[in-house]
C-alpha cells in the first residue's frame, strides 16, 4: 500500500519535473531570444543611421562632384541659383562652432559653480532646491527656449546694439541656458564622487573651504568636469530649432558677436523642406548633416579620451 503510494507520488513528481523542465527550457530560450534580438536591434539601428546618413551625405561629393575642400572652406553659399552655384559651408561650420564654444564659456563656470554650491556649500537644502530646478530646466522643450529667446533676448540685443537683434550672441545665450542644467548635473555627480577623506584631510591641515575647493576638489574632479562640459557642448552643437529661431540665419560670415549668423542645424532646418529630393542643394544639406553626425562621434571620442585619463 505504502509502496504503491510512494511510487505514485514519485512518478507524478517525476512527470511534473519533466513537464516543467520542458516548458521552462523553452521559456528560458524564448526570453533569451527576445532579449538578444532587442540588443541586436540597438546595434542595427546605430549602424543603419551611420551608414545611411554617410552614404547620403557623400552623394554631393560623388554624384554632383562637389569639391570637399571648397565645401568645407568656401565662404559663399548659393547652391540653388541658375548657372553659377557655390557651396561654401564654412560660415555655417564657423557659426556652429562659435555658438558651441561661446555657450560653453557661459555655461561651464555657471554650471560648475552651481554644482559646487550643491555639493560643498549647502549640502542638504542646496541639493533639495537645485535638483528639481535642474530637472525642470532639462525638461523645458527647445522650442520654448527659442520662443523666449525670440521675444525677450532678441529685442534686448536690438536695443543695446546696432544690429537687428537676431545674432550670434542671442544664439549663444539661448543655447548656454539650455546646456546649463546638463553641465550642472553631471558636474554635481562628479563632485559628489570625490572621497570625503581627501576633503577632510585638506580641512584638517587648516585650509579654508575655498582653498580646499580649488586646490583639492577641482583638480581631483577635473576630468569629470571636463566630460560634463564636453557633453554640454555636444548638445549645443546639435541644437537646432532654438538656435534657428534667434540667430538670424544669414548666409554670410558674421563680423561681430551681434551680427546675424547661421549654424549647420539652422540651415538644414530652414532649407530641407524647400528643396527637391536628389537635387544638388538637397544633397548638400545631407552633407551638412553628415558633418553633424561626424561631430557627434568626435564628441564621444573626446569624452572617451578624457575618461580614460581619469583612471590613470
Please report, as residue ranges, which positions from 86 to 105 form the binding site for another protein (by CB under 8 A). Answer: none
> What does the alpha-carbon distance between residue 257 and residue 163 come to, in Å, rounded to a whole number?
10
Q: Which of 102, 154, 234, 262 binds another protein (CB under 8 A)?
A: 234
102: Cβ contacts below 8 Å, ≥ 6 apart: 168, 169, 172, 176, 257
Alpha helices in 117-217, H assignment, sequence order: 125-139, 142-148, 154-160, 168-192, 196-204, 209-212
273-293: b (≥16 Cβ within 10 Å) or e: eebeeeebbbbbbbbbbbbbe
Taking the mean position of all CA atoms in its chain, how far away is CA 164? 30
Count interface residues toward another protein (CB under 8 A): 85
Under the binding rule (CB under 8 A), the answer on residue 114 touching another protein is yes
**Residue among 75 and 105 whose Cβ is closer to another protein:** 105
Minimal distance in Å, beta carbon 90 to another protein? 20
Restricting to residues 268-307, which ones interact with another protein according to CB under 8 A? 268-269, 272-273, 277, 286, 289, 292-293, 296-297, 299-300
Residue 54 Cα distances to 59, 222, 293, 294, 297, angstroms: 9, 35, 8, 9, 12
**Residue among 47 and 198 whose Cβ is closer to another protein:** 47
- Contact letters (x/-) for another protein, 145-184, by CB under 8 A? -xxx-xxx------------------------x--x---x
As a whole number of Å, the end-to-end CA separation of the chain is 74
Q: Which of 90, 94, 117, 203 binds another protein (CB under 8 A)?
A: 117
> What does the alpha-carbon distance between residue 146 and residue 241 come to, in Å, rounded to a whole number?
7
Q: Which of 240, 247, 280, 284 binds another protein (CB under 8 A)?
A: 240
**Residue among 184 and 258 whose Cβ is closer to another protein:** 184
70: Cβ contacts below 8 Å, ≥ 6 apart: 87, 88
Under the binding rule (CB under 8 A), the answer on residue 42 touching another protein is yes
**Residue among 76 and 138 whose Cβ is closer to another protein:** 138
Minimal distance in Å, beta carbon 145 to another protein? 8
**Residue among 143 and 201 whose Cβ is closer to another protein:** 143
Minimal distance in Å, beta carbon 177 to another protein? 6
Restricting to residues 244-273, which ones interact with another protein according to CB under 8 A? 244-245, 265, 268-269, 272-273
> What does the alpha-carbon distance between residue 299 and residue 235 come to, in Å, rounded to a whole number?
10
Restricting to residues 184-213, which ones interact with another protein according to CB under 8 A? 184, 208-211, 213
Restricting to residues 50-79, which ones interact with another protein according to CB under 8 A? 50, 52-53, 56
> What does the alpha-carbon distance between residue 148 and residue 225 come to, in Å, rounded to a whole number?
29
> What does the alpha-carbon distance between residue 52 and residue 81 come to, in Å, rounded to a whole number?
28
Minimal distance in Å, beta carbon 54 to another protein? 11
Under the binding rule (CB under 8 A), the answer on residue 116 touching another protein is yes
Under the binding rule (CB under 8 A), the answer on residue 45 touching another protein is yes
Q: Which three cell numbers stand for residue 178?
A: 539650455
Q: Which three cell numbers stand for residue 57?
A: 551625405
Minimal distance in Å, beta carbon 124 to another protein? 14
Under the binding rule (CB under 8 A), the answer on residue 238 touching another protein is yes
Strand ranges, E, within the chain: 77-78, 86-87
Amino acid at each position: 500500500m505504502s509502496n504503491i503510494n510512494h511510487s505514485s507520488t514519485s512518478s507524478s513528481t517525476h512527470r511534473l519535473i519533466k513537464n516543467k523542465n520542458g516548458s521552462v527550457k523553452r521559456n528560458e530560450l524564448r526570453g533569451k531570444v527576445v532579449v538578444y534580438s532587442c540588443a541586436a536591434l540597438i546595434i542595427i539601428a546605430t549602424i543603419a543611421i551611420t551608414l545611411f546618413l554617410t552614404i547620403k551625405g557623400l552623394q554631393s561629393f560623388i554624384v554632383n562632384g562637389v569639391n570637399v575642400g571648397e565645401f568645407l572652406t568656401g565662404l559663399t553659399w548659393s547652391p540653388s541659383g541658375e548657372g553659377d552655384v557655390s557651396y561654401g559651408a564654412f560660415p555655417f561650420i564657423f557659426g556652429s562652432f562659435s555658438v558651441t564654444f561661446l555657450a560653453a564659456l557661459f555655461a561651464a563656470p555657471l554650471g560648475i559653480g552651481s554644482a559646487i554650491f550643491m555639493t560643498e556649500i549647502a549640502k542638504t537644502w542646496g541639493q533639495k532646491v537645485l535638483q528639481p530646478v535642474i530637472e525642470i530646466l532639462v525638461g523645458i522643450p527647445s522650442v520654448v527656449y527659442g520662443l523666449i529667446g525670440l521675444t525677450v533676448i532678441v529685442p534686448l540685443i536690438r536695443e543695446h546694439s546696432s544690429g537687428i537683434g537676431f545674432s550670434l550672441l542671442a544664439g549663444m545665450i539661448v543655447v548656454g541656458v539650455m546646456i546649463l542644467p546638463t553641465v550642472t548635473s553631471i558636474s554635481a555627480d562628479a563632485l559628489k564622487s570625490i572621497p570625503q577623506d581627501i576633503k577632510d584631510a585638506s580641512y584638517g591641515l587648516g585650509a579654508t573651504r575655498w582653498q580646499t575647493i580649488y586646490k583639492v576638489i577641482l583638480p581631483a574632479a577635473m576630468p569629470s568636469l571636463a566630460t560634463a562640459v564636453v557633453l554640454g557642448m555636444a548638445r549645443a552643437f546639435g541644437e537646432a530649432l532654438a538656435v534657428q529661431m534667434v540667430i538670424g540665419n544669414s548666409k554670410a560670415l558674421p563680423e561681430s558677436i551681434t551680427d546675424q549668423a547661421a549654424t549647420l542645424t539652422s540651415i538644414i532646418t530652414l532649407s530641407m523642406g524647400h528643396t527637391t529630393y536628389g537635387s544638388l542643394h538637397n544633397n548638400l544639406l545631407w552633407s551638412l548633416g553628415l558633418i553633424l553626425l561626424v561631430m557627434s562621434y568626435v564628441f564621444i571620442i573626446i569624452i572617451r579620451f578624457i575618461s580614460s585619463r581619469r583612471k590613470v
